[in-house]
Amino acid sequence: METPNYDLELALRARGYLRIAGVDEVGRGPLAGPVVAAAVVLNPDDIPEGLNDSKKLTPGRRDALERILQDRAEVSVAQASVAEIDRHNILRASHLAMERAVAALDPAPDFLLIDGNMIPRGLGLPSQAVVKGDSRSVSIAAASIAAKIWRDRVMVDLAQQHPGYGWETNAGYPSKQHREALQNLGVTPHHRRSFKPVHNILYQE
């Protein structure tokens, strides 16, 4: 199994880029809640062990690594709202979240390693898109962990306001419980109306 390393960052450092941020987002697929992005600048002399794609880590390991990152790295997390997802589209909204996370890093990074195959248009910094980046770069893996933990906490909070949808466990993804609750309890203000399962319930014949 491929595990992320620091090779991409070392190659960039050899070219003179010293403040390198990994950038990743979480939450494109859910029917509810914001899309969240994180930007993380690791200390090359103090990289936490065990960084990996957040989806490949147990919840306990994710939590532990997120706490370590808060202590030993520079972490910035930002979101785009459900309204922005519906107004633009999920891709553009995820890019807005990435742009906001990067903009909140101070001082600004020299270079960005971005998970995926597209570079958000509003970044204005030297950047490289890295397909499956959270399995290749520890900086991107760190960002995936920070974004996942932050978004899961948001969804737990929203679950307390809107019980029955199972957001505390499904994080807004279309699980069986969530889909049934949509039918039985209806659409909340936190549902993405532009997503077909929600749209279809709102505009049933």
Annotated binding site for a divalent metal cation: 24-25, 115
Q: How far apart are CA 184 and CA 199, in angstroms?
A: 15
3-state secondary structure of 3: coil
Using only C-alpha atoms, what is the Rg of the chain? 17
Binding-site residues, please?
A: 24-25, 115
Per-residue tokens: 145? 């962990």
- Checking 68-72 for CB contacts under 8 A at 24+ apart, the result is 69/40, 69/142, 69/145, 69/146, 72/43, 72/46, 72/48
Contact 38, 45 (CB under 8 A): no
Ramachandran angles phi, psi of 42, nearest 5°: -85, 150
